[in-house]
Amino acid sequence: MSERRFIPPHGNYRELLSYRKAVVVYDLTVGFCRRFLRQGDRTTGQMVQAARSGKGNVRETRSNHLKASPDTTYKTYRTYPLPPAPPCRKPPRPLRYSLGMEEPPFAFAEPDYPLGPLTRYRVGGPARWALLPRTMEEARAAYAWMAAQRTGGAPMRRLVLGGGSNVLISDRGIDGAVLVTTALDGIEALGNDRYRVECGAELGDLVQDVMLPNNYDGVGGLTGIPGTVGGAIYMNAGTVNGTTCQWLESVEVAGDGGSRTVTMDASCYGYRGQSFCPPGSLILQGVFRFRAAKADQRAVYEHYMQRRREKQPQGYCCGSVFKNPPGDHAGRLLEACGLKGTRRGGAVISPVHANFIMNEGGAAFDDILGLIRLCQTTVKQQCGVDLECEVIVLD
């Protein structure tokens, strides 16, 4: 049986991924899975039958093809082979669970759920419990349960995980509960250039399905950024051309005291961060208000996608590891210190762009974290600059 790349909570996918011919393009695995779950189990059943017969591979389709019926979509996708997932260089250390955590009272709860396949690094051990809500109501209930849990008198460790594009998770996993948002992917048009977007929607889908068809301004700031809208809001993801939060009108956040709606203004966010959602809280959804652009945004999109293909490495990584220090660029400092190409285990500082650390095969958590610490120490010693991590490290 082939190694499973990810483990969605539906039986047909569990069976499908056990076949050697079942392959999915890396960049669209999560979005692909989520979209077909919304189409219903009939399409995934067709894929299972194809795998059983040995006649077909799991296939990938862009979002615009999914507007057709499941039957039509099944016949029109294109096949892309998935590069082999990096093998584990060494088995993860066993996670010793703490006592006192009750079993979640939800049908969408999964025990000992592997987190590595849900991250861009493909690194990380299991969560004691994964909660995989499919609706906003389930997400609110799941988060309320997480917030109420105590282990040893202290709040239970909890994590919200979207596209996994900006996290590095320990091989020991998470002794607690992880709420996975990828099934919460609704996008609703409200009129007057306003859209309600759930936290699990892919940021790339917001660009391709909403911004480009309406020629909205801001495409240059959000093009090519991986991950979900919830994660993009939390990190205020963007580029020199703009950020996610600048287009937000309001955002719903769940915390220890329940959910609340925050009206957005410029004081609520800054460079790669915001002040309305503390660590451990959950961004449920946001209302975006866009404006029409004068220039052709399709051309802007193609320009920045081409630049990313030329300037950034492709493969298993979290994107930029460090925030840019004021008045400088982390990649330039790292390259000036001669760190490009430095390896540790299966991890390497990319020869293409020094602010990217790649998992080139079997990298462990300690390999990647070791390179992060090496970068920070070297830049501090040689340049006198403290590099702050953009990636969230969960040890």
Residue 241 lies in a domain: yes
Clarify whether residues 199 and 285 are in a common domain: yes
Structural domain count, the chain: 4
Residue 153: its pLDDT value, please? 77
Residues 321, 384, single domain; the answer is yes
- On whether both 345 and 284 belong to a single domain, the answer is no
Q: Write out the DSSP string of 32-47.
A: HHHHHHHH-HHHHHHH
- pLDDT computed for residue 34 by the predictor: 37
Residues 193 and 285 reside in one and the same domain? yes
Kindly tell me the burial class for residue 332, based on how many C-beta atoms sit within 10 Å of its own C-beta (0-12, 13-18, 19 or more): middle
DSSP for residue 149: -
Q: Is residue 297 part of a domain?
A: no
Q: Can you tell me the mean pLDDT for 329-353?
A: 97
| Domain shared by 232 and 326, yes or no | no
pLDDT on residue 208: 95
* Whether residue 196 sits in one domain with residue 172: no
Residues 6+ apart with CB under 8 A from 337: 375, 378, 379, 382, 383
- Domain membership of residue 96 (yes or no) is no
pLDDT of residue 145: 95
Residue 127's domain is classified under what CATH number? 3.30.43.10
Residue 209: give the domain boundaries.
187-289
Q: For 73-87, 146-160, 366-380, which range has the lowest pLDDT when averaged over its residues? A: 73-87
- Give the pLDDT score at 67: 35
pLDDT digits (tens, 9 = 90+) for 236-284: 999 999 999 999 999 999 998 899 999 999 999 999 999 999 998 999 9
* Domain shared by 192 and 155, yes or no: no
pLDDT above 50 for 94: no
Residue 86's pLDDT band (boundaries 50, 70, 90)?
low
pLDDT digits (tens, 9 = 90+) for 366-380: 999 999 999 999 999
Residue 218, domain member (yes or no): yes
Residue 81: is its pLDDT beyond 80? no
Q: What is the pLDDT of residue 238?
A: 94
Residue 304 within any structural domain of the chain:
no
Residue 294 lies in a domain: no
Residue 204 · residue 212 · CB < 8 Å: no
Q: Could you tell me if 171 and 222 lie in one domain?
A: no
Enumerate the active-site residues: 272, 320, 390
Phi-psi map region of 227: left, alpha, beta (phi>0 left; psi -120 to 50 alpha): left
In a domain? residue 125 = yes
Is 41 part of a structural domain of the chain?
Answer: yes
SS3 category, 336: helix
Residue 97 confidence (pLDDT): 56
CATH of the domain at 374: 3.90.78.10
- The predicted structure's pLDDT at residue 361: 86
Identify the residue with better confidence: 189 or 152: 189
DSSP letter assigned to residue 117: G
pTM of the model: 0.76
Identity of the highest mean pLDDT range in 21-35, 64-78, 263-277: 263-277
